């Protein structure tokens, strides 16, 4: 797809819808998500000479949005602290004394993860599970696993310690596993 697609109403409608979903999940604020999407699209239109076709137009526009989201997250950190220390006692039930999975919380075998990843419904359930996470955990998980940030960059961006980042990632992964297990893979909750 060429840069001319930015003039195509259907392309803009589809990419804007996807951008808005992504931004809203990250920012958890509809107004800020709308603003970020509009700024990203305006930036793409202004900088269209810079599009070199090394990536798809959609990927290029989404990368502009990712940068806008990172800027907003950094601004939020400057304004207030994002991470609250939370008691891990509610996670202890998943493990035995040797830090292995407890018998009743051990993950079930997931029949075909590659097939599930291709399934649109799986991603809808995944998104719903991600949205149920505490805001800080969801943000850190998405920065790491979706946006591809390394741990040091997440810590700098959010103003948190490395240990806090890993704890939040651990909590997010456990909660996602439990939610997907119950809502997609049919495990007992």
Which own/partner pairs from 35-40 qualify as long-range (CB within 8 Å, at least 24 positions apart)?
36/65, 36/68, 36/69, 36/72, 37/65, 39/68, 40/64, 40/65, 40/67, 40/68
Would you state the pLDDT for residue 101?
79
Find the length of the chain: 189
Which of 165, 183, 67 has the alpha carbon at shortest distance from 124?
Answer: 183
Q: Looking at the predicted structure, is the pLDDT value of residue 40 above 60? A: yes
pLDDT on residue 109? 66
Predicted confidence (pLDDT) at residue 39 exceeds the cutoff of 70: yes
Q: Are 189 and 182 in contact (CB under 8 A)?
A: yes
Q: Which residue has the higher pLDDT, 20 or 120?
A: 20
pLDDT at 34 over 60: yes
Q: What is the pLDDT of residues 132-163, one digit of tens each?
A: 999 889 889 988 887 778 899 888 888 899 99
> Which of these, 33, 17, 94, 101, lies nearest to 66 by C-alpha position?
33
E strand or H helix at 154: helix 151-158
Residues 80-132 pLDDT 10s = 654 444 556 667 777 787 777 787 777 766 666 666 566 677 778 888 898 89
- How far CA 144 is from CA of 29, 86, 165, in Å, comes to 20, 20, 10
Domains of the chain: 3-79 (1.10.1740), 88-183 (1.10.10.10)
Say what the alpha-carbon torsion angle 132, 136, 141, 143 is, to the nearest 10 degrees.
130
pTM: predicted TM-score of the whole model, two decimal places: 0.55
């Amino acid at each position: 797809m060429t840069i001319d697609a930015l003039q195509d109403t259907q392309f803009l409608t589809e990419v804007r819808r996807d951008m808005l979903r992504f931004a809203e999940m990250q920012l958890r604020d509809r107004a800020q998500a709308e603003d970020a999407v509009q700024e990203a699209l305006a930036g793409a239109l202004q900088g269209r000479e810079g599009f070199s076709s090394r990536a798809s137009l959609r990927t290029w526009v989404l990368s502009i949005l990712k940068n806008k989201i990172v800027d907003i997250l950094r601004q939020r950190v400057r304004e207030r602290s994002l991470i609250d220390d939370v008691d891990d006692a509610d996670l202890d039930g998943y493990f035995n004394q040797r830090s292995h999975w407890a018998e009743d919380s051990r993950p079930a075998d997931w029949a075909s993860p590659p097939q599930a990843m291709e399934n649109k419904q799986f991603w809808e359930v995944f998104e719903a599970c991600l949205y149920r996470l505490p805001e800080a955990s969801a943000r850190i998980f998405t920065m790491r696993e979706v946006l591809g940030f390394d741990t040091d960059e997440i810590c700098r961006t959010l103003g948190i310690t490395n240990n806090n980042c890993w704890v939040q990632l651990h909590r997010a992964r456990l909660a996602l596993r439990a939610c997907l297990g119950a809502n997609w893979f049919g495990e007992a909750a």
